[in-house]
Every structure is written in structure tokens, then in C-alpha cells.
Amino acid sequence: MLSHFDAKLDTIHNSVHQMQDSLNFMKTTVGELEGRIGSNQDELSRLETRIKQLEKQNSYLAEKVEDVENWSRASNIRLLRVPEGSEGRDMIGFVGQLLIQLFGQDKLPSPPVIERAHRSPGTPNPNPKAGPRPILVRFLHFQDKLNILRLSRDKKELLFKGNRVHIYPAFSAGFMEKRRLFTTVKKKLRDLNIEYAMQYPATLRVQVAGKRLFFRSPDEAEIFILQHTRKMQLLDNENKIPIDKKRLHTLQNIKMHIKDSIS
């Protein structure tokens, strides 16, 4: 009887030992897994930091490349809506005479020196609604480009063969997109009769109350417009107050005069 009980007890002890060994093994395994997870988390943190550094570096290099590209186009302009085929076989000669025709010989006595001139790459679009391809022009002298842009702003409307021609600086697509973000802001400034201009690369300069303000993002400019509008409304309300006081003073004088007359 006792031997049978001892045998069962030994079996239980063996089972307990096996369970204890299993628990110890699992404990060791969990510890190793925790260590690996900790190492992986550290490595992940290092990788995230490295990715942020690379993204920042990539953004910086992309801006530098775009800046170099735009500086290489510093003397370039784009002519829009000039009918296809008008240039014949001599694009440079055509553009020189076109500029004189657009501005007049009194403003542009002789054509500026042009290094290169050509249509945008590609074939003409047969769809008339698509419009003619832009003409890209590179001047030998940067000042000639500035002069042409100034004349274009002054004359406002440029006509050639019944088409309204537009002249713009020739910058990269990324650069132009940054400037296009200010379109809504510029319209609001025009509505408020506030003088503004775009400066290189994509900075909005505002002239107000004898001061020059610079905004590098549309959001900054929107905040300024909101504050300026509120300020003008307050000034407008303040200007109305003295008129009411003056009327009140006049009424009081009339009342006193009537009272004196009655007495």
C-alpha cells in the first residue's frame, strides 16, 4: 500500500519537476524575447532618427538643385499665346521683332540680344482650345530680361494678330507651383488696394503704411490680411464716433438756445 502511494508521489514529483523545468525554459525564452524586442525598439528609434535626417537632407538638396536650375534660367522668359508658325524658320529674329511690335520702338528701340529661342518641346496640339506651345527665350543680358518684364507690367495688354500675349519669367515647375499658392492671397491684396510683389524665390512682399513686410507662406499672408482688415474696421468705427459726438453737441447747443429764448 505504502509502496503504491510512494510510486504515485514520485510520479507527481516528476511532473512538478517537469513543469518547473518548462516554466524555467519559458521564463528564459521570454527574457530573451524581451531583450530582442528592446534591441529592436532601440534599432527602430535609430532608424527613425536616420530617416528624418535623410528626409531633411533630401529636402535641402532638392531645394539646392531647384535653386541652381532656376538661377540657370535667370535670363529666361516665356511667351504665351503666340500663334504656332508665326516665327517661320528664324525664331530668334522673330522674337526680337515681336518684342518691338508689342512694346513699340519708343519703348524698345532695338531688339535685345537673344542667345536662344524655341518652342516648348513636343508637337503642336491639333485641338485649337489647347493653345499654342509657349516660346522659351534666353537673353544674353539679365538686365534685358528685367526690362522686358517691366515693360510687360507697364503696358498690361500685349496684342499680336488679335491674340493677347503674356510674358512671364521662365522658372521650374516646382518654383511656379510655390508661387501659385499665393494666387488667392494676391487677389485679396488687390481687393484691399495693397501694393505687393513676388520676390525670388517665392516670397511675397507687401507695402503698407510705409512699411515693407515679407511672407514666405500663404498662411502668414492670410493672417496679416485678417489682422489688417480688422484694424481698418476699427479705425472706420472710430472715425464715425466723433461725428455722432459733434451732432450731440450741436443738439445740446440748440436745446440751450431754445431754453434761453423761452426764459
pLDDT given at position 260: 58
pLDDT given at position 108: 96
Residues of the chain where predicted confidence (pLDDT) is lower than 70:
1-7, 9, 128, 238-263
pTM over 0.95? The answer is no
In angstroms, the CA 64 to CA 52 distance is 18
Q: Please check whether the two domains, 74-170 and 173-263, share a CATH topology.
A: no
Q: 73 in helix, strand or coil?
A: coil
Residues in the chain: 263
**197 near 92, Cβ under 8 Å?**
no
Count of alpha carbons within 13 angstroms of residue 242, beta-carbon side: 4
Domain ranges of the chain: 1-69, 74-170, 173-263
In angstroms, the CA 19 to CA 214 distance is 75
**Per-residue pLDDT tens digits for 129-141:** 778 999 999 999 9
pLDDT given at position 238: 65
Structurally, at CATH architecture level, domain 173-263 sits in 2-Layer Sandwich (3.30)
Q: From 3.30.1780.10, 3.40.50.620, 3.30.70.1820, 1.10.10.10, which CATH number describes the 74-170 domain?
A: 3.30.70.1820
Burial class (CB in 10 A: 0-12, 13-18, 19+), 48: exposed
**Per-residue pLDDT tens digits for 58-73:** 988 988 888 888 888 8
Q: Which residues pair with 61 in a beta bridge?
A: none
